[in-house]
Chains A and B, each alone.
Chain A
Amino acid sequence: MRQRFAVVILLLCTSAIGGCAGDELFSPTAANSRYEWGLPTGFPVPVVPDDNPMTTAKVELGRHLFYDRRLSANETQSCASCHQQSRAFSDGRVVGVGSTGEAHSRNSMSLANVGYASVLNWANPNLSRLEQQALIPMFGEHPVELGMSGQEELLLARLREDTVYRRLFPNAFPGAPAPVSVANVTKALASFQRALVSGNSPYDRYKFRNEREAMSASALRGEALFFSEETECFHCHAGITFSASTKYVGKAFVEQEFFNNGLYNVQGTGAYPAPNVGLKEFTGRATDMGAHKAPTLRNIAVTAPYMHDGSISTLEEVLDHYARGGRLITSGPHAGDGAASPFKNGFVKGFTMTPQDKTDLLAFLRSLTDSTFLTDARLANPWRAP
């Protein structure tokens, strides 16, 4: 009974670490002070779990871990191998390739504004915590990414013997008797990812800072088309991240949305090629076939190729796909007309797109590129000599 009481006290302390920072448990230091977001004008505050409050020290530790190849068993890859800053933390490949050379079945997602995502990965309704998500690339076996399955002690031993981490872990987790743990690795990685806020694009400067010259006339026409009932783009790409699955402080509802966008209709059955069956993989519901999360469109111009399986190479072709209302594959094992899929979302209905419309939509999408985010030194590899 007394033991349980002690546990409750401890939990209370960890869930409100700021409140405990001043008492005897933890010494107050600059390192565990609350994180200053420095959010772009107009941006809401990202949601942070009570058990992993943001601190400058944790973000800094997370940054070192994110760029550290020792997080892969064979020390060839880090998180940044598939999530490169210059590509808005995506990798430019059709699908991700892990540390052992094994190909993933899906495209590496951009991590820009991932702290605002209400659901993670492409179609996993059970995954909404970045702390939990970090375990997948580290320890997943199907496919192998960083290849650390069964190698927890190896990982922790590598981290414990590094002089940099001997400083960073205790700073990030002050008072913890054994700060180098898998749980704390995931907490730090999650904190760094929550710091990946991108909100300085021409669109943001126009919308939130009233810089009228930031967007061209063509981009503004494209914006109107994007938010029109002709194209219907905004139904799935809604909100501050241009993804309907968004959360932030003050948002009262959990919204996680998944859409079949008519990419496949194998042999007219509505099927998507295995294993990428989308939400159906988790729910078992036939009608969830091919339903995936609408990814953020921020920095979309630098995150080619596109779609959950990287099967569309360019933004121009993505627009053609939506204008047609689905993709026609005329031959091969995946042949079928995605536009006629019985599981396609009703908003992917197709539209008439003139060459000027296409130019304008592209200009709008390119106005979502935040070049400062792609080069921000605070988000770059800390292990490299400056």
Chain B
Amino acid sequence: MTRLRRSLAVAPLLAVTLAACSSDSSTEPSGPQPVTIRFAAQVGSQAFTCGTTYSGLGSPATTATPSDFMLYVSNVRLLTSSGSEVPVTLTPDNKFQADNVTLVDFAAGGAGTACANATAETNTQVVGTVPAGSYTGLRFELGLPFEKNHQDQTTATGPYSVSRMFWSWNAGYKAVRLDLNTGGFPTGWFIHLGSTGCTPAGTASTVPTACTAPNRPTITLTNFDVTRDRVIADMAQLLATSNLNANQGGPAGCMSGTTDLDCPAIFSSFGLPFNGGSIPSSQSFLRAARQ
């Protein structure tokens, strides 16, 4: 909540700074400028709240109640009108941000809430600096960079230390975690996106050197005004073509396995190829919205 307030305070300042830059490049201030990239979770047009039951989700339409929703954002870049990438240098906070990684956590939880096992704190922003300039787009990856994805989770710090994002079966982390209780699976239908095909075969004590399916989608929002827009993570869009009342292999939901047939629909929403298939032309999970 305090982070959100801080972002709202920073946003108008940025609008002034960046607008001034774009209107007269000769007065462009030198040095890095603060930037805040705001995220929000929605379910279609509704705001996302952990533990709320939403209807009309998936195909066929059913109900789903989220019990946790987190994702990693890494390697954030702003895009200029000519399409060149300018990396955002993150401001580390020993908690949600370190290196070029931000943990975005939409789910407020804790014992006594409907999301008992989710962490109490939330974070819906990426905070850093960029060179002054005019920016029209945004690009980042979902998930941790490979070199951070296979560290020892048991002693990790900062954004890497939330065990709910550990994905120990491949000695890595989840890129996205969305846990649901659905009409057909009241005890759980899960989306855990992460790298597969990692070798040597992953266990907690074997560190992979490569993964055939990184499952680390690159998200590009070409029309994104960082001073006015938010990145909307839309649960309804992510689930749009999934049958939430079915389990088509493996655990209920998509845990990224190549034989888990709940995954093709989910991977398509992430813009990811499934099990060596074709690459979808676009992703539908994230979009820019002015608000």
Contacts and interface: CB of A to CB of B under 8 A. Distances in A.
Task: Decide whether A and B are members of one complex.
Answer: yes
Interface of A: 42-44, 125, 203, 206-207, 220, 223-224, 227-229, 232, 234, 238-240, 244, 246, 248, 250-259, 279, 282-283, 285, 287-288, 291, 341-347, 349
Contacts of B255: 229
Nearest to B201: A224
Given A346-B185, A346-B190, A346-B252, A255 B164 contact: yes
Interface string B171-194: 100000001010001111110000
B112 A255 contact: no
Contact of A229 (B112, B187, B251): B251
A252 B95 contact: yes
B121 interface: yes
Contacts of B201: 224
Contact of A258 (B111, B121, B158, B205): B111
Contacts of A125: 110-112
Given A43-B155, A255-B117, A258-B116, 14 more contacts: A125-B111, A223-B204, A229-B257, A234-B166, A238-B163, A244-B164, A250-B158, A254-B119, A255-B163, A258-B117, A259-B117, A345-B188, A346-B185, A346-B252
Q: Which residue of A42, A43, A246, A346 has the most chain B CB atoms within 10 A of its CB atom? A: A346
Contacts of A248: 155
A239 B154 CA distance: 5
12 contacts: A223-B204, A224-B203, A238-B153, A239-B154, A252-B95, A255-B162, A256-B110, A258-B111, A285-B112, A285-B116, A344-B187, A345-B187
Main secondary structure, interface of A, reads: loop
Contacts of B114: 285, 287
B253 to A, nearest CB: 8
B155 A283 contact: no
Contacts of A229: 169, 250-251, 255, 257
B278 interface: no
Contact of B163 (A207, A232, A239, A287): A239
Contact of A250 (B157, B190, B251): B157
Top-9 shortest CB links A-B: A346-B188, A125-B111, A250-B157, A207-B205, A240-B154, A251-B161, A234-B168, A257-B117, A252-B95
A165 B120 CA distance: 42
Nearest to B180: A346
A284 B171 CA distance: 37
Given A238-B166, A283-B111, A227 B116 contact: no
Given A223-B203, A283-B111, A346 B169 contact: no
B155 A44 contact: yes
Contact of B168 (A203, A227, A343): A227
Contacts of A341: 187
A366 to B, nearest CB: 16
Contacts of B26: none
A285 B157 CA distance: 32
Given A227-B204, A346-B252, A283 B185 contact: no
Contact of A234 (B112, B169, B186, B250): B169
B133 interface: no
B268 to A, nearest CB: 21
B159 interface: yes
Contacts of A282: 111-112
Interface of B: 94-96, 110-112, 114, 116-117, 119-121, 152-159, 161-164, 166, 168-169, 171, 179, 181, 185-190, 201-205, 250-252, 255, 257
Nearest to A291: B116
B116 A283 contact: yes
B162 A253 contact: yes
Nearest to A259: B117
A228 B171 CA distance: 10
A238 B156 CA distance: 13
B172 to A, nearest CB: 11
Contacts of B111: 125, 256, 258, 279, 282-283, 288
Contacts of B120: 254
A253 B204 contact: no
A367 B251 CA distance: 27
Contacts of A42: 152, 154-155
A253 B153 contact: no
A360 to B, nearest CB: 12
A259 B257 CA distance: 24
A244 to B, nearest CB: 5
Given A224-B201, A253-B121, A256-B110, A246 B251 contact: no
Contacts of A232: 251
Contacts of A252: 94-96, 157-159, 161-162
A282 B112 CA distance: 8
Nearest to B205: A207
Contacts of A244: 117, 163-164
A349 B168 contact: no
B212 to A, nearest CB: 17
B205 A251 contact: no
A239 B204 CA distance: 10
Contacts of A283: 111-112, 116
